[in-house]
């Protein structure tokens, strides 16, 4: 069984390929009588909310000298504080969630 991050990395960023991969995962699991809906993202028919889990994993403050932000696609990252301006240029929708 693939994790969300493994499927995303393997299939790139095209939503059609990801949707197809998650459907295959669900169909295969169903063939074996296994419910995997709690491991499939909501956007692909499951009940899992990966971005909420990701934010929970990185809850709290960023390490010293770093800033933690959530990008406009939901990813959570720690970068050196001095690089925040560059990050904002690349992604104007990012939100700082810890320093």
How far, CA to CA in Å, does 50 sit from each of 38, 74, 89?
Answer: 10, 9, 26
Q: What is the pLDDT of residues 51-83, one digit of tens each?
A: 654 555 455 677 788 888 888 888 888 899 999
Which residues share a beta bridge with 79?
67
Instruction: Give the pLDDT of residue 35.
Output: 85
Helix 4-11 / helix 15-31 crossing angle, nearest 10 deg:
130
* Continuous H helices in the chain: 4-11, 15-31, 50-57, 84-90
Q: What is the pLDDT of residues 37-59, one digit of tens each?
A: 887 777 778 887 766 545 554 55
Reading the block at residue 57, the tokens are 């994993």
């Amino acid at each position: 069984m693939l994790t969300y991050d493994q499927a995303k990395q393997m299939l790139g960023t095209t939503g059609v390929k990801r949707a197809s991969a998650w459907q295959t995962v669900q169909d295969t699991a169903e063939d074996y009588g296994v419910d995997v809906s709690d491991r499939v993202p909501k956007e692909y028919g499951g009940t899992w909310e990966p971005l909420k889990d990701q934010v929970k994993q990185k809850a709290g403050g960023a390490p010293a000298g770093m800033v933690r932000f959530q990008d406009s696609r939901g990813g959570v990252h720690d970068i050196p504080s001095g690089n925040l301006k560059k990050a904002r240029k690349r992604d104007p929708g990012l939100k700082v969630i810890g320093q």
